[in-house]
Amino acid sequence: MASDSVTSCLSPPVHYMICKLGFEKKDAYDINNILSEKGEVCWQAVTEHVCYLESDQSVDYIKSVRSLGPVCESVDLHFKSLTKEQFAVQYALWFHWTNCTELFLEIFDVLQYAQMTEVALGLMKLTSCLERALGDVYLLIGTDCPFLLRDLLASEQLAVVFGKAVMNVLRVFVGSPYGLNLRNVLWHGFASPQEIPAKYCAMLLFLTAGLGQLLQTYLLQTRCTLVHRPYVIFVSLDELDAFPDLNHETLSMAEELVKLSSFVLKTMLPFWMAALTAFKQNRYADCVILLLPQLEAGLRLLFTTMNKCPNRLLTAEPSALYTTFDEMLAKHLHNEEVNQLPAVLEEPAMEFLWDFLNHQEGPRIRDRLSHGEINLETFPREVANQIVAFAITLLCRFSDEDMFAFKEHMVIKTLMKCASSYRSRFHPISRLKKQVLECMKSIYLWSDLPTVPEEDVQALKGFQGNDEAGTLILMLSEIVSQLQRYMPQNCCSSDDPVNSILTERLLIELGDTHICTLYSPRPVLEILLVLRKISTQCHRVSEQVIASTKLRYKQWMSKTLRSRQRHNYLRMLNSIKFLSPVLRLILVLITLELTNVHLVWKKNPFDYQQYLKFLKSVLQYTENLVSYTSPEKNKWDETTALTNKALIKIRRISERNLMLMQLVT
């Protein structure tokens, strides 16, 4: 289906509901019916416009939208008759409960000029902030706030605060697939700018103020205090850094690309242009809010074309699911057939989308923006830059026009190269690689830890050194020799296998091996979970050893340690001799197993369970180490016996060829 042949992504019933139904009643409605002289919303006069089905007393959305149409018109005209100052004096106080007062005052400005893209953007921001604020209200009574707006509006908790009739008014506009469903049709990229009547944005602005009035009454009666949940803050922005910073020249080229690319639905062109303009104006949240639904719309066009289901381009009927990112990025369609979109997009683009939208440890930008979890004022340029750059590469890749001149341009070439070499950063596989390296760096710091002078040790009466460290290192050497064949040969030395192999260099080399992250099966995820826990515990041991050694050395030199503490400190130094190579061995094992993690399918169920049991025993060992090496316990002799048992188990598993690396044929 060509992008310029699509005139609307709203199915006929949804198009009728949003664009026509609320305009059928022509009689004017007096604003004074729903607005008191004090400027308060007369809720009873609003709720009486919600109609109910005789059969089960559920909301009749068709009749309700038709009846509320003139009311919305009246509110829109009322707002247009006010100056910004008058509006602020009358309403600003009633927006405080949303924690976004300025945003609601800005939306008033937008309504004065009624530019279609700005109205749609205003509605998207309004619904996300309203949802967040309603969630805060829910938490006055409830505990776990529902993730979906639909469930939030239908909750008993909000009905207690605002009344069920008031919640039903909101459900006519947002949150129900049977109503106008304005939030979803916009956030999922179905509605074009001209399809969203400004009067519905005005009405939601009005209703939000009315909710503030009701909430104030409730808070005074119950003596409760509304607490706003903190916003999500993006940490480690450098991890999101896949594309170079976009300059003015690149953005100008992007504006030309948008007009030519078949990835862009022509009815949506204003949204794309507005997104690029917002980026230029440093309005990064606005840019991403406008762009994400358009990425979804463009990918939906590709998805429906590749899977030969053109009807899925339109909004679904209320009884069916919309075709959204979740389905488009899945391996299979609902009918169990293979989804063709991943093959067309190719692995790097799929990994980028999963990273930015889906992975639990990733930024999950669309979810967090659409549910109001991010402070729009401080939205980082770095994140917007990545989304825009990625969008530009899709514009280039999916185009009917001859784009040779664009693709040969150096800035576009650079972006395309970055896109084609993208590797997941937030899949558990990628997180584990990062964890292991950070842990190894921590263990390397042990070699620089201060140690007491040898003559001080000799002078300490009654101290018996532990000879078992040598025995453990011998066993360690045996295990390393068994595993040597599975490691890159340029990282090995026969003279000192332990210290030449258990290195950061080896981990980096193995870590550079590409491991497929898309659609990891359950057993793979199960193994990754245990490996990550092991790595976390190793890191905790390392941090504890570093902290304890520095503290004890300081106390030793200042002669503030009692005799028993001095003995314990020396036992700790003795244990470090074998703990360092043992922990490094575990990190190498984790990395080798990770590199071969997809070979788990070669194991039969019994062997798989035995293997999992082994990994959990290693986890148990590292958890015990955390306990024994803690400042509270300081059980250094016990670490020797513990380590001995763990190494025997590792050696036995290695001899039985039960590790994944040993399945390589």
The per-residue pLDDT for range 629-665, each reduced to its tens digit, is: 998 888 888 899 999 999 999 999 988 888 888 887 5
Predicted confidence (pLDDT) at residue 463 exceeds the cutoff of 60: no
Residue 264 has pLDDT above 70, yes or no: yes
Residues in the chain: 665
Q: Give the residue-averaged pLDDT of 545-549.
A: 94
Q: pLDDT by residue (tens digit) across 170-217?
A: 999 998 999 999 999 999 999 999 999 999 999 999 999 999 999 999
What is the rounded distance in angstroms from the CA atom of residue 337 to the CA atom of residue 524? 23
pLDDT at 371: 96
pLDDT tens-digit profile of 18-28?
999 999 999 88
**Taking the domains of the chain in order of start, what are their residue ranges?**
3-222, 237-420, 428-663
Which structure tokens are listed for 138?
């829910």
Tens digit of pLDDT for each residue in 385-399? 999 999 999 999 988
Choose the weakest-confidence range: 187-191, 548-552, 565-569, 595-599.
565-569
Per-residue pLDDT tens over the stretch 134-161: 999 999 999 999 999 999 999 999 999 9
Which pLDDT value is given to residue 594? 94
Distances (CA, A) of 463 to 9, 451, 592: 81, 16, 40
CA distance 62 to 431: 49
Give the 3-state secondary structure of residue 338. strand
- Residue 128 contacts by C-beta under 8 Å, 6 or more apart in sequence? 183, 369, 370, 371, 372
d(CA 284, CA 268): 19
